[in-house]
Structure formats: structure tokens, C-alpha cells
Structure 1
Amino acid sequence: MNIPEGKKIYFASDNHLGAPTAEASRPREQKFVAWLDAIKHDAAAIFLVGDLIDFWFEYKTVVPKGFTRTLGKLAEITDSGIPVYFFVGNHDLWMNGYFQEELNIPVYHNPKEFTFNGKTFFIGHGDGLGPYDKGYKGMKKVFTNPVFKWLFKWLHPDIGIKIAQYLSVKNKLISGDEDAKFLGEDKEWLVQFSKEKLNEKHYDYFVFGHRHLPLEIQLNENSKYVNLGDWINYYTYGVFDGENMELKKL
């Protein structure tokens, strides 16, 4: 993709809309919708890098209640011709066609490479990557198993979604647990993953979410790791102007 002069690519992740309650997350959603409205005038593309919604499960004819303002704004943006790309996170991984069919937004379940103005990007939510997080990797295999999803869909939505929301808000990152601190490069597993990938191929930027921490780490002279932070505590987002990628804050 070549970015037209005066245009930019925007990145955001970890909004967790709906957590801990719909009422509590409403101000965050309003800020996010206002941000989408503000950037649409110069956006060449928008990347939503996972956990937009704190829990999402698509039944055959039902999707979770709420998020109307966000979904409506995304529809407006894609209808205007601005592409939006969505990477599932560990909280909204049960996507099954709704975003593609209703919002014209492609959905990716794994990290993907992109090239903008000759700069190579490796983009993904970040969950389950790297040498650690083994417990989560095992749980993810269960959650993405077709049999598990088939069994879950037979729960009435009022029951299934209530259970999932309860478990979701127990997540330490949502509750603001102190674990969401910078651990140092040698202990940040997404940094380690990025360095390993550089042994295979050059990338100018690695862009992830999931850690809920805004981070910019120079991996070598020509490669940078960027974690987008979140829209719970930091309200940070990434901007690529065609030459450089940087984090900004509302």
C-alpha cells in the first residue's frame, strides 16, 4: 500500500468495550468514537489490533448487545472508502463473519505482514506469541476448538454471555493489576518474539497490543517494537505518516 500525501495509518488496540460493565465503559466508548471521527479526514487506513470488545461471540443469528456507537462509526468509515482492518484478540476471538458482512472489515486471526511506503510491518494482537504464556496457549486451543464453540453456542445468550463477562473482568489487565508493568526487555516476551523474527526476516516495525502498555523499543538500528497500550488507562494509539511510526496519546 502506498500512502497518499497528507494521509496516515492509525492503529489502536485493547478498548475492552463492555468491561467491567456497559455503563462504566460508555465514557471510554464515547472517547474512542470521537477519536475515529477526528482521524477519518486524514486516515489512509485504520488497524484495530484486538480486544476492541471485552467479550464477543457470534451465534448464527445473534451478536452481543451494545457497542452501537462504535459499530455505526466503523460502518460510516468503511462506507466512505477508508479501509479498516481487524485483528482478533483473546477477548474477541470468536468472530464468525459479522464484521466482514455488515461492516466490510476483514478479520485476521493470526499476525500478518503489511508493507506501507516500502516499510514492512508485522501486525497482530500478540497473545500466545513468544516463548512464554504457555498456560494461555493451552487455554486458547480449547477456546478455538470447534467442539467447544459448538457446545458454548447451545447456552442461551443471556447465560453464556453473562458467564463469559464474569470471567473476562477477572482478567488482571482489566482490573488494573500491577502485573501490567514494564518488565525489562529481557522479560518482555513480545520483544523477545520480535527479536527472534528478525533472525528470519527484516521488519521495520512490529505492532502489537495485548500488554496494555504503551511501549516503543528499538530492536536494532532499523527495527522497532511498538505496543499500542490501551483505552482503559492510557488512551494511546499509533500513527504512521508514511515515513515514521510513533505512539500518541489523546
Structure 2
Amino acid sequence: MNIPQGKNIYFASDNHLGAPTKEASRPREQKFVAWLDEIKQDAAAIFLIGDLFDFWFEYKTVVPKGFTRILGKLAEISDSGIPIYFFVGNHDLWMDGYFEEELNIPVYHEPQEFIFNDTTFFIGHGDGLGPGDKGYKRMKKVFTNPFSKWLFRWLHPDLGVKLAQYLSVKNKLISGDEDAAFLGEDKEWLVQYSKRKLEDKHRDYFVFGHRHLPMEIDLGNNAKYINLGDWINYYTYGIFDGKEMHLKTY
């Protein structure tokens, strides 16, 4: 994609809408919709890098109730011709066609590479990447297994969604202590993952979410790791103006 002069590409992640309750998350949803309404004026594209919802599961004919404001704004922006790209996170990984069919938004389940103005981006939510975290990686295989999803669909949505929302909030993935502080480059596993990817091929930017902590780290050789933070505590987002990418706060 060539970015027209005066246009930008925007990145955001980890809104966790619906948590800890729909009522408590409503102001955050309204704030994010206001941000989308502002950036649509000069957006060449928008990337949502996972965990937009604290829980999302698509039954064959049912999706979770609520989120009218955010879904309506995404539909408006998409219909206006501004491309939106959605990457599933570990809380909303059960996307299964709804965004593509209703909003014309492509959904990615694995990291992808994009080139903007000859600048290469490696983009993904970030869960399950890099060394360690073997317990989560095993759990993710269970959650994404077609048979597991088929079994879950047999639960009535009123029961299935309520149970999943309870477990999602209880597991402290929104604001656990492990997300509160920078661990150092040698312990930040997404930094280590990015450095290993550079051994195979150069990329200018590695852009992830999941960590909930805004970070910009120089990887050497004109490469940079960026974690987008979240829209719970930091309200940070990434912006690429065609030449450089930086984090900003809304």
C-alpha cells in the first residue's frame, strides 16, 4: 500500500470491551468510538490488533449481545472505503466470518506482513509467540481445535457466553501484575521473538498487542519493536505517517 500524502495508518489493541462488566466498559467503548471518529478524517487504513472484546464467540446464527456503538462505527468507516484489518487476540479468537460478512473487515488468525511505502511491518496480536509460556500454547490448541469449538456451540448462548465472560475476567489477563512493569529485553518474549525473526529476514517494524504495556524498543539494524499498550489504563495507539511509526496517547 502506498500512503497518500497527509494520510496515516493507525494501530490499536486490547480494548477488552465488556470487561469487567458491560456497564463498566461502556465509557471506554465510547472513548474508542470517539477516537475512531477523529482518525477517520486522515486514515489510510486502521489495524485492530486483537482483544477488541473481552470475549467473542460466533455461534452459527448468534453473536454476543451488545457492542452496538463500536460495531456501527466500524461499519461506517469500512463502508466509507477506509480499509480496516482485524487480528484476533486470545480473548476474541473465535471469529468465524461475521466481521467479513457484515463489516467487510478481513480477519487474521496469524501474524501477517505488510508493506507501506517500502516499509515492512510484521503485525500480530502476540499471544503464544516466542519462547516459554508452554501452558498457554497447549491451552490455545485446545481452544482452537474444531472439535472443542463444536462442543462449546452445544451450550445455549445464555450459558456459554456468561460462563466464558466469567472465566475471562477471573483469569486476570486484563490487568494482571505480569503486565504492570517492563521486564527487560531479555525477559520480554515478544522482543526475543522479533529478534529471532530478524535473523531470517529484515522487517522495519514488529507491531504487537497482548502485553498491555506501551513499548518502543530499538532492535538494531533499523528495526523497531512496538507494543501498542491498551485502552484500559493507557489509551495508547500507533500511528505511521508514511515514514516513521510512533506511539501516542488519546
Query: What TM bracket, shorter-length normalisation?
Result: over 0.9
Residues 10 and 238, structure 1, Cα contact 8 Å, conserved in 2: yes
Are 2:185 and 1:177 equivalent residues in the alignment? no
Q: Which amino acid aligns with 1:239?
A: I
Which 4+ residue blocks in structure 1 deviate beyond 6 angstroms?
none
Question: Partners in 2 of 1:33 and 1:140 — Cα distance?
Answer: 30
Normalising by structure 2, report the TM-score.
0.99
> Which residues of 2 match residues 1-250 of structure 1 at below 5 A?
1-174=1-174, 176-180=175-179, 181-250=181-250
Corresponding residue SS for 2:177: coil
Question: Partners in 1 of 2:87 and 2:50 — Cα distance?
Answer: 5
CA shift, 1:75, in A, is: 0.2
CA shift, 1:177, in A, is: 2.6
Question: Partners in 2 of 1:40 and 1:241 — Cα distance?
Answer: 14
CA RMSD after TM alignment: 0.6
CA shift, 1:172, in A, is: 2.3
Q: Which amino acid aligns with 2:101?
A: E
Question: Partners in 2 of 1:222 and 1:90 — Cα distance?
Answer: 30
CA shift, 1:179, in A, is: 1.4
CA shift, 1:182, in A, is: 0.8
Corresponding residue SS for 2:192: helix
Question: Partners in 1 of 2:33 and 2:160 — Cα distance?
Answer: 28
CA shift, 1:170, in A, is: 1.6
Identical columns (%)? 81
Corresponding residue SS for 1:238: strand
Q: Which amino acid aligns with 1:206?
A: F
Residue-by-residue CA offset, 1:101-135 (whole Å, 9 max, x unaligned): 00000000000000000000000000000011111
Question: Partners in 1 of 2:152 and 2:172 — Cα distance?
Answer: 24
Residues 172 and 179, structure 1, Cα contact 8 Å, conserved in 2: no
CA shift, 1:173, in A, is: 3.3
CA shift, 1:178, in A, is: 2.0
Question: Partners in 1 of 2:171 and 2:120 — Cα distance?
Answer: 33
Residues 28 and 231, structure 1, Cα contact 8 Å, conserved in 2: yes
CA shift, 1:26, in A, is: 0.2
Question: Partners in 1 of 2:114 and 2:18 — Cα distance?
Answer: 30
Corresponding residue SS for 1:82: coil
Question: Partners in 2 of 1:218 and 1:82 — Cα distance?
Answer: 30
Residue-by-residue CA offset, 1:166-225 (whole Å, 9 max, x unaligned): 110023231x23211210000000000000000000000000000000000000030000
Corresponding residue SS for 2:72: helix
Structure 2 portions without partners, runs of 5+: none
Question: Partners in 2 of 1:177 and 1:112 — Cα distance?
Answer: 27
Residue-by-residue CA offset, 1:6-29 (whole Å, 9 max, x unaligned): 000000000000000000000000
